[in-house]
Structure 1
Amino acid sequence: MVDMIECSGSFFRDLNRRYGYRIVAELKDWIKLDKKRASLCNRRIFLLECRRNKLTPRHISQNIKCLNEVVMDINCPIMKKADKLLNKFKRSVINIEIEATIWQLTRIQRRLVDIKYNSRKSLPPDVFADFELRSYNNYDKLFRKIRKSNVKKIEELKRKQKVTHIDGSVVDEFLFNYTSLEIPIDVAHTLSMGPNFGINELKHEFSIPRVLKDFEYCIRGITSSDDIKNTLRAQATNIITNHYRNPKNFRGDYMVKNFKETRRFLEDNPDILVMRSDKGNSTVIMYRDEYVDSMYSLLSDVTMYRVLNKDPTLTVQSFANCLLDKLHT
């Protein structure tokens, strides 16, 4: 079957005759913006991978080639200083490109949401759903094609550029930064830690009611006599009291220090979100606006979601209870 998007002449002429030139213009913009979105999404992924693997994209290395040639002589007295400065400059350029790409992508996604909203109001549901499905298939096909090309570019850069992984190699495995922010290494270490890590609390941060609540919750799950439970409560009370009256000095603990640094970093950057990934024990950092726009874009798909007038939880729960009662009787 020939793709509907490729048959732009007859398809759009028919739409123009039935619904007017304005809706045709918006659908054509939809196609163009989808192409740009596929390219920008892959560009963002490519740049983030370059930054994560400490690679320099070819277009950046080519533009600063003349600077590299100036200090190429190993006997140059300022070689180390120049090399450090160039590496910092490369990272800054990559961060700027990531930020610009995210800005362009956000603007396109917002425009696409408006176009889909207007098109849904102007077109019959079957025509709109058919066009949306085919446009998505074209976007997915183009996205995969560009991604395949970018994967080859990354592998080629890894072969040509000898990347040395320092202490941050473990961090890169469990922390994925999809923003243009340069995450400090101490903050990155803290955010990459899994749920099995614990932070020692200082005395002014120690909450006795919270500890007692958690301890009592654990006690209730024990199938023992009341005497044993009361003994455990007495021992826990003694431990908590001793800890509170004679707290250990954790101020020199590097995890406490990193935790404070991380909390300060997140307070200074309220426009980012830190979340657990859906798969794998890793952490994801992304812009709040980008996350919200992506969620709105997903929810605007009427073929997958629809607005409910009320919460159906109680109705479903009552129905399930009735079924269980029937099965039980």
Structure 2
Amino acid sequence: MGFFEEISHNYGPETTKELKLWSTNNRKLAAALNRRIFLLEFKRQGLIPKHITSNVKSIMGLFEYNNQRLNRKIREFNDSTSKKIINLELCQVNHKIKRLELLNTQIRQSLQHLPEYMLIQYQDRLKCSFNKEFHKIKMTNLKKINNLKTTSIPNVTTQDRWIKNLSDKEIPNTVKSLLSLGSKFSVTTTKKDINIDRIIADTEYILEAIPDGRKNVQRAKVTNAVTNYIHRPKEENSLIQKWYKDTKWFLKENNNLIILNSDKGAVTVVMNEKMYNEKIQSILESKDFKRLPRDPTQTLQTKCNKYIDKLGELKYITKEQMKQMKTYNSVAPRIYGNPKVHKDGYPMRPIISSINSPMNSLSKFIADIQMKTAYDEENQYYVKDTFHFATTVNIFKLPENYTLISLDVINLFGNLDKNDIIEVLKQKWDIIKEHTNINMELFMEIILFILNNNYCVFKEKYYLQIFGCAMGSKLSPRLAQYVMDHLNGYPRSLVSRIFHTSTPMVTPSCPPDSDGADKKYNKLIYIPGLSQRLIKVMRNSSSIIVSYYNKTVRKLFSQLKDRDPDYRQSGLVYRVNCKDCTGTYIGQTRQYFGTRIKQHQSDCMKQSNTTALAQHAMSEGHQFDFDDAKILTRENNWFKRVETTNWWMRNF
């Protein structure tokens, strides 16, 4: 006699029916729980199950894809519909699980008349069958997910030659795939990546151009759009997002690796930090550099400002130019390098970043005179860029018995002799003087001052470049062109145009409006589902809003330049806590952070009534913890910095 026959004989057929129903529900519950895990995993990985895509595809067949704007709406509708179907299916599965669990509980209560040992034995049997069924369905679902992931991968094409591993560390395939996409490859921005204070500062800056009568209405629409975006359901992770997370985790675990761009070929290079530092250090210890005993930034900043004052006193520049050119928060130029992976031994090309350095504005001023006005760009040998060169070569026919050759100069900027530069410029002075009212003596003095003070910082040590020009200075490409033109045996401008052409980046502009005013360009971070709405709300006739990607693979690249210490950073929002109460002062400054903190300390000592911090200290007799002052964020634009400060004051 079988188990169920015995139950029917001893306890009646209704009891057997209840036990069989319990077993059936158990199998259904295993399938439902697996189904929920299956759908949640699809959501987590940003995938859409085939049973949904095939059914939605039949709906998409109703539309004609012949309009770009309409096509975008159709794609958005497709994505939105697919995600909503997954959510609805999850709701249905959750409801089914609750119903099955409730039925099983009711069945268990209805079987109380059975002996306890018999119920325990039967439950053990159900547990075994549940686990067996659950595992069977789980393996089937995993196979479906992996198959769909495999078919999704070809959408992102990568090649092994796009990445060069010079380290001794084996790189996982997902990490290699992401890094090989290059530093400029953009990854979808998620809610976790968004800084609300930055969005508010950018939108308020754009809203300034809107008439006051419409400003509050537009601000309310912007607030509504941002709020709806923040409170929408969590985004699904795409394959690229998973690669990005894997890469971020891998680099965090292996912080001795350096990720950087190659010198040429747009190859991503992975190398050990020790190897990178040794290559840069070998450059700095060569005969072209010498170690400085201390940081010369403040001294050079003062000298540069004196030259600017002199140019202003002699009426060579306007007061407005003086104000723009002077600097009070300079930082030392920072050296870094890109490896030449196409050469044996992977030598490093040194680059000195002169952004916000003491001589940056003065170098740009001299370079503009030499290149934008004095230098002849209309000669027949001029090559603007590689596209211009390709166009020229495509229509060029090489005569018989002629051979086309390409020449190169090894370390062009580093091999420019200062005396040769001055001599060449003196010979060209008749041309240069037609484009500037500065006398030759002062002009040459400023150039020599710049050339003699090419310095940089690496690992908090300072070095002076004693030979050649700095790679990264705005002046170096201009001087190189003059020197190369002067080479004997070659036509004027030919050599320099072929060897090295560096044209200044021009800010895009649009045709003037009918009233003659140029339109203003504003930027806004691209956030899928939000940026389009904000741009539509804030669009007006006097400005153009462009989106930019903020989350790129470059975010994972190593910080090669020396980071400025906090006290030398400027253009920032900061906070200082009160030691004697819960009060916190939020402030902003364009000065050095250290200088601003010292001003606060001085105000408190003198009991000056200049800031809310000093007023609090004076009226309450409290002290502030200046040693623990923190930078909250950085922003060079004054208006945006003030708006960011206001946001922090409301939300700190």
TM-score norm. by structure 2 comes to 0.26
Structure with bigger strand share is: 2
Whose relative contact order is higher, 1 or 2, with alpha carbons under 8 Å and at least 6 apart? Answer: 1
Higher helix share: 1
In our comparison, the structure showing a higher alpha carbon Rg is 2
